[in-house]
Amino acid sequence: MPTHTFETKHLQAGYDRKIILDDVNVRIPSNKISIIIGANGCGKSTLLKTMARLIKPESGDVLLDGKSIHKMAPKQLAKILGLLPQSPIVPEGITVADLVGRGRFPHQSVMKGWSKKDYEAVAEALEMMNITEFADRAIDELSGGQRQRVWIAMALAQQTDILFLDEPTTYLDITYQVEILDLLTDLNQKYGTTIVMVLHDINLSARYADYLFTVKNGKLIAEGAPKDIVTAALIKETFALDCQVIQDPVSNTPLIVPIGRHHI
């Protein structure tokens, strides 16, 4: 499995001249699952988007194998680095197989049709996400959980070594949240894909991440394996929430139990 170094150097970025990220230096562990957590508006999504070149940094740089991603040809980069946005748009009436096939764009030459490799990649992605039975259906007819699997299949068909996902489980029932995270873990184990995602659920993050990044006010405040860094003090600092940290009886990872003002 191919390994890559992926890091940010003194990254400053934001929207409309408002700086949201301030001097962020991260190094993404290759072939692992990394999860970025933090309170709403802390800049975690901005960090992900800046690393995936959706936002141009004000200063600093994002380096893939030592090269600035902003200096690489877009299609070349898209063969190594993929991103599933939080709310991609479904073209009206498009079938599942055709949508998944759009993930092949960086591998195709402009005027040619689909090659055998394209069909193979799409079929493989559909099978991995368990959506072969929907291949010919219009996306509009699918449920939220099924749709999300279609989008991940599209990102899979892109066959990148690094895959970013912006809150892939938001709006999904707990069943589908676990299912999506399981499928992403399968992907990581089968192909060694480096996965970086933003998640809201701290406990699922602590369970599924090999490596956690916590962000507050546009700064990185902690990073490391969940069992090494998740403490009541860190949660208090990151989310301004009191909690107890116990051991997850299922996965033996840290499990936070929040403490509010009532029911104590």
The residue ranges that bind other proteins (CB under 8 A) are: 15-16, 49, 52-54, 74-79, 81-85, 87-89, 91-95, 97-98, 101-103, 105-106, 108, 110-111, 114, 119-120, 122-124, 126-127, 132, 135-136, 158, 164
If the CB atoms of residues 130 and 217 are measured against other proteins, the closer one turns out to be 130
- Positive or negative torsion for Cα 132, 138, 139, 141: negative
Q: Residues 6 or more apart from 168 whose CB is under 8 A from it?
A: 84, 148, 152, 180, 184, 197, 199
Least gap, CB of 249 to other proteins (angstroms): 36
If the CB atoms of residues 122 and 235 are measured against other proteins, the closer one turns out to be 122
Least gap, CB of 108 to other proteins (angstroms): 7
Residue in this structure with the two tokens 């860094």, named with its chain if needed? 229
Residue 41 exposed, middle or buried by CB count within 10 Å (0-12, 13-18, 19+): exposed
CB 209 within 8 A of CB 216: no
If the CB atoms of residues 72 and 241 are measured against other proteins, the closer one turns out to be 72
If the CB atoms of residues 98 and 248 are measured against other proteins, the closer one turns out to be 98
Least gap, CB of 241 to other proteins (angstroms): 30
Three-state secondary structure call for residue 252: coil
Hey, how many other C-beta atoms are within 10 angstroms of the C-beta on 46? 23
Least gap, CB of 213 to other proteins (angstroms): 20
Cα–chain center distance at 67: 21
Least gap, CB of 28 to other proteins (angstroms): 16
If the CB atoms of residues 30 and 132 are measured against other proteins, the closer one turns out to be 132
